[in-house]
């Protein structure tokens, strides 16, 4: 074969004169552009020879090459690479002696970072190293912008190219010695001059083909590879750099991707390696050539793909992808703060995760290494102590034993901005070709189908497409199936907007019972509706479609169930008064035990009083909550923060106030999927319609509303009543001493003591409200009675309950509690007479509430009981409640114990919190 020496690049000045000649002739300019690129290709072949110390020769143009240029094609790189016939091709060594490293744009972003890359390479003790580099950070975008500006006839492309030159000039000056700097700048100047000529041609033509664009953009990788090779050699390690367009051959396909041509690439690698087999090669990522030697790129994540292909060609021991994160997370850490780094992933798991939007690797990156079982390791160049994530063939067994459920699902990924299209109709069932027709129409508009779901009835097919493509898809389906829609064979082509996909990925999900049940249980208990489901028979992936607004919450709920604890609760406490502050102290003391023993993770995300509130994104330190920085109270902001701005799936608001306005929000909170726990009686004893709405909301969803402490503080009264009814017992009557204050008063109102003295004593001991009339009026007991009546299915309003007030009528208008207590002794004789009459008959006075279920009524009044009666034997402030039922008719079921006080009331609320946790999956 006749050989010729390489032609020198055309001087920029000469090219500039030629452009003047072709300025009015776009076709001629385009011809010149092709010629220019070929000149650039010839110039590009030199540095390889220089770096390796070898000599390449270029064969003469063939008639085919001339035809390609005349037809406005370009020939990049080397037209026909040939070696001197006396050169003997040495086989590329392959196997574990090779380690492959890939450094992305962030790793190569500055001179300091390039130096760090060099240190990593130099510290690698592998016998042979193949290093693939991306362009410096943001350079690829800058290069694409040059092409865009030029073809838009925006003259600022010239200054933009100067910025590119300046960026690399400054970096090289910081990195290289004088001699190396001179050599690199000579190449850089030459490239920039030719790029100016090329961009000028694009500017004149107003158009750039994909090949033109790919050729321009690929320069970023060339420059970064050259600079890194100089730095490595400066540190005493022989190396050379590789323009991978001379080695990697790819075949473009119809889906805007490329397929590696491994046979031809291996041949080219053999020829390239024969020149001077180096121990360390710095190769360009992202760029390649077609079999016709036309420059192209490997498209999205091309540098990673380059590393995988080259790793497969040399059968490397390992491919390390260096990036700026510690590894692959179990979920997007921006959405799930508790996401963990995965130590290992199987090829299939990584493949599935990347497809569903996880920032792992492009799926095509994994294909080349799978064939030879070459591990890929994701590592953080800024944290060398982190071991990273290894993507490899999953071992058959782990720890020699079975896997626990939490480790079966390896990770979660999401895709947003999707729409669901549902094509349904009875005419689809059993009709061959319906699916083919649907997806053929979708293909015609070039839409990407993300997920497909069809029930076995064949009545409908639904599939997800990107939101930006849904209108075109819906229009083409409406048009294609117009006749079927008009005839009624199809009922509709429905579009459901604002959807997202959540995918659960794990190789060990296959044949493991209960994974789907656990996943969907977590989603359901977060009060989220699933629109569509898909799972392949490989069982590596479970895909669900849901509303985009619910996606993050669903992701957190699922991740929490498999990775954190079965129950992670974000808690908001409203009302840090006596009961609320006691509850916070109890949570503080018990939180560690709950997490360790029961896997219950309670995080108090906010505390709000009437004037101030405190918020946290990870959980308030309950040892210091009283000193926490406060802001002005805003209930709407507080609820939004606790429910939406945290990283935990389940939200519960605990209302420790006695405020009717707060209680009015319960229905709205439950509709939003927020659980509610409260000792506040105002909601359940308020209007009947509101109570029934609350119970309806509680029953129809997985949102829970617990209010045990509204009746008996810490006593299990509500739960007992509900248990009796749920097991089929029939309530006849509920009778009880429901007020700890009035229990104390009448337990001590005996002998010669006056009623006013006992009331004053109770107030001093802290048993009464600040104004004792609030207790003596009986209104609090009436609210408890109406709650129990409604729980017993009686449709009563609070006004239906007759209440005997113990506040003398003349004292009800007193302006203050002090005035009331001062005048109360005037009525001691009336109270003493009633007590004495009862004692004379062997009875005691007790203030009780009664729910008469048989007669559909309730009452609150002062009654007399024989001294042998359980109600007569109370002491202190104890409460007592007697349930007379069909089962407990002769001997009522009695619950007795402290019914007042901050400790027991807070304990009742705490018990409801743990009950909620058990409903959400915590162990009993």
Contact status, residue 905 vs residue 579, Cβ threshold 8 Å: yes
Collapsed DSSP state (helix, strand, coil) of residue 558: helix
Q: Using alpha carbons, select from 338, 342, 317, 316 the residue that is nearest to residue 329.
A: 342
Q: How many residues does the chain have?
A: 924
Structure-token pair, residue 791: 């729980």
Structure-token pair, residue 788: 């129990």
Q: Using alpha carbons, select from 251, 242, 299, 307 the residue that is nearest to residue 44.
A: 242
For the chain, the first-to-last Cα distance in angstroms comes to 84
Collapsed DSSP state (helix, strand, coil) of residue 58: strand
Contact status, residue 876 vs residue 747, Cβ threshold 8 Å: yes
Collapsed DSSP state (helix, strand, coil) of residue 216: helix
> What is the rounded CA–CA span in Å between residue 593 and residue 615?
24
Radius of gyration of the chain (CA): 39
Give the count of beta carbons closer than 10 Å to the beta carbon of residue 580.
23
Biggest CA–CA distance in the chain, Å, is 135
CA distances from 333 to 336, 348, 412, 507, 599 (A): 5, 22, 11, 22, 22
> What is the rounded CA–CA span in Å between residue 443 and residue 420?
16
Place of tokens 């540098």: 303
Which of these is catalytic: 196, 233, 566, 784? 784
Question: For residue 77, what are the contacts with CB-CB under 8 A and spacing of at least 6?
Answer: 41, 44, 45, 243, 245, 246, 289, 293, 295
Q: Using alpha carbons, select from 293, 248, 232 the residue that is nearest to residue 64.
A: 293
> What is the rounded CA–CA span in Å between residue 499 and residue 785?
47
Instruction: Find the Cα–Cα–Cα–Cα dihedral 335, 337, 342, 345, rounded to 10°.
Output: -10
> What is the rounded CA–CA span in Å between residue 704 and residue 714?
19
Contact status, residue 284 vs residue 309, Cβ threshold 8 Å: no
Contact status, residue 365 vs residue 391, Cβ threshold 8 Å: no
> What is the rounded CA–CA span in Å between residue 523 and residue 545?
12
Contact status, residue 284 vs residue 221, Cβ threshold 8 Å: yes
Contact status, residue 784 vs residue 799, Cβ threshold 8 Å: no
Q: What are phi and psi of 418, to 5 degrees?
A: -115, 160
- Helices first, then strands: H and E counts in the chain: 32, 33
Helix (H) or strand (E) holding 439: helix 434-444
Contact status, residue 811 vs residue 824, Cβ threshold 8 Å: yes
> What is the rounded CA–CA span in Å between residue 489 and residue 423?
11
Sheet holding 411-424, edge to edge: 451-454, 460-466, 411-424, 492-505, 541-547, 530-535
Between helix 219-234 and helix 139-151 the angle, nearest 10°, is 150
**Annotation says 889 is catalytic:** no
The CA-CA-CA angle for residues 292, 12, 71, to 5°, reads 30
Beta strand 530-535 with 492-505 is: unpaired
Q: Using alpha carbons, select from 555, 513, 551 the residue that is nearest to residue 408.
A: 513
Task: Give the active site residues.
Answer: 784
């Amino acid at each position: 074969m006749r050989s010729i020496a390489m032609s020198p690049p055309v001087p920029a000045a000469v090219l500039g004169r030629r452009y003047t000649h072709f300025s009015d002739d776009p076709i001629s300019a385009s011809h010149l552009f092709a010629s220019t690129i070929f000149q650039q290709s010839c110039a590009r072949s030199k540095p390889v020879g220089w770096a390796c110390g070898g000599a390449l020769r270029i064969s003469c143009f063939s008639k085919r090459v001339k035809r390609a240029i005349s037809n406005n094609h370009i020939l990049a790189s080397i037209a026909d690479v040939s070696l001197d016939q006396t050169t003997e091709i040495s086989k590329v060594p392959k196997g574990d002696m090779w380690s492959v490293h890939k450094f992305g744009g962030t790793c190569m972003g500055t001179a300091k970072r390039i130096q760090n890359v060099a240190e990593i390479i130099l510290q690698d003790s592998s016998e042979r190293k193949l290093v693939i580099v991306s362009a410096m950070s943001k350079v690829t975008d800058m290069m694409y912008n040059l092409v865009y500006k030029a073809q838009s006839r925006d003259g600022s492309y010239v200054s933009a190219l100067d910025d590119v030159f300046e960026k690399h000039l400054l970096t090289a000056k910081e990195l290289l010695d004088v001699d190396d700097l001179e050599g690199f700048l000579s190449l850089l100047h030459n490239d920039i001059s030719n790029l100016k000529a090329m961009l000028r041609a694009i500017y004149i033509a107003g158009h750039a083909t994909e090949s033109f664009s790919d050729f321009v953009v690929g320069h970023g990788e060339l420059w970064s590879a050259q600079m890194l090779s100089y730095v490595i050699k400066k540190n005493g390690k022989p190396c050379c750099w590789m323009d991978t367009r001379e080695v990697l051959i790819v075949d473009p396909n119809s889906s805007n991707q490329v397929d590696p041509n491994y046979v031809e690439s291996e041949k080219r690698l053999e020829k390239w390696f024969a020149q001077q087999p180096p121990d360390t090669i710095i190769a360009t990522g992202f760029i390649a050539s077609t079999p016709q030697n036309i420059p192209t790129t490997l498209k999205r994540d091309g540098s990673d793909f380059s590393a995988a292909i080259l790793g497969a060609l040399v059968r490397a021991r390992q491919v390390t992808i260096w990036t700026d994160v510690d590894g692959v997370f179990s979920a997007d850490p921006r959405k799930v703060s508790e996401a963990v780094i995965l130590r290992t992933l199987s090829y299939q798991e990584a493949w599935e995760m990347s497809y569903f939007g996880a920032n792992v690797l492009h799926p095509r990156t994994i294909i080349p290494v799978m064939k030879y079982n070459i591990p890929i390791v994701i590592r953080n160049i800024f944290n060398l102590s982190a071991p990273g994530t290894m993507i490899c063939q999953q071992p058959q067994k782990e720890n020699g034993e079975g896997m626990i459920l939490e480790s079966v699902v390896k990770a979660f990924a999401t895709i947003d901005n999707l729409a669901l299209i549902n094509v349904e109709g009875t005419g689809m069932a059993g009709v061959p070709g319906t699916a083919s027709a649907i997806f053929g129409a979708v293909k015609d508009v070039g839409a990407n189908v993300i997920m497909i779901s069809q029930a076995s009835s064949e009545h409908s097919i639904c599939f997800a497409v990107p939101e930006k493509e849904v209108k075109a898809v819906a229009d083409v389906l409406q048009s294609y199936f117009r006749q079927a829609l008009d005839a009624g064979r199809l009922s509709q082509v429905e579009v459901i907007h604002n959807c997202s996909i959540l995918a659960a990925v794990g190789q060990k999900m296959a044949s493991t019972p209960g994974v789907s049940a656990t996943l969907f249980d977590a989603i359901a208990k977060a009060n989220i509706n699933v629109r569509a489901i898909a799972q392949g028979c490989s069982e590596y992936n479970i895909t669900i479609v849901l509303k985009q607004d619910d996606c993050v919450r669903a992701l957190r709920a699922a991740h929490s169930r498999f990775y954190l604890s079965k129950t992670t609760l974000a808690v908001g406490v409203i009302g840090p008064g006596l009961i609320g502050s006691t509850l916070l102290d109890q949570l503080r003391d018990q939180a560690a035990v709950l997490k360790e023993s029961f896997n219950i993770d309670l995080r108090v995300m906010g505390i709000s009083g009437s004037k101030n509130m405190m918020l946290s994104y990870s959980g308030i330190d309950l040892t210091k909550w009283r000193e926490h920085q406060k802001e002005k109270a805003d209930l709407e902001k507080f609820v939004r923060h606790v429910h939406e701005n945290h990283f935990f799936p389940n939200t519960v608001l605990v209302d420790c106030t006695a405020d009717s306005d707060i209680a009015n929000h319960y229905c709205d909170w439950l509709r939003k999927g927020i659980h509610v726990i409260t000792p506040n009686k105002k909601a359940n004893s308020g209007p009947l319609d509101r109570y029934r709405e609350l119970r309806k909301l509680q029953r129809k969803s997985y949102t829970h509303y617990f209010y045990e402490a509204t009746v008996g503080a810490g006593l299990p009264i509500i739960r007992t009543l509900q248990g009796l009814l749920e097991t089929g017992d029939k309530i006849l009557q509920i009778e009880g001493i429901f007020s700890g204050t009035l229990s104390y008063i009448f337990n001590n109102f005996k002998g010669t003591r006056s009623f006013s003295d006992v009331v004053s004593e109770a107030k001093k001991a802290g048993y009464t409200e600040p104004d004792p009339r609030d207790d003596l009026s009986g209104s609090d007991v009436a609210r408890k009675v109406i709650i129990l009546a409604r729980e017993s299915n009686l449709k009563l309003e609070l006004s239906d309950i007759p209440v005997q007030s113990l506040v003398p009528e003349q004292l009800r208008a007193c302006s203050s509690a002090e005035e009331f207590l001062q005048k109360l002794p005037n009525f001691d004789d009336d109270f003493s007479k009633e007590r004495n009459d009862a004692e004379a008959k062997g009875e005691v006075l007790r203030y009780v509430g009664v729910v008469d279920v048989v007669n559909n009524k309730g009452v609150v009044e002062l009654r007399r009981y024989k001294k042998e009666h359980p109600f007569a034997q109370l002491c202190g402030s104890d409460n007592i409640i007697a349930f007379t039922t069909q089962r407990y008719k002769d001997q009522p079921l009695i619950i007795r114990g402290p019914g007042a006080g901050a400790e027991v009331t807070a304990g009742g609320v705490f018990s409801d919190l743990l009950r909620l946790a058990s409903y959400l999956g915590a162990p009993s």
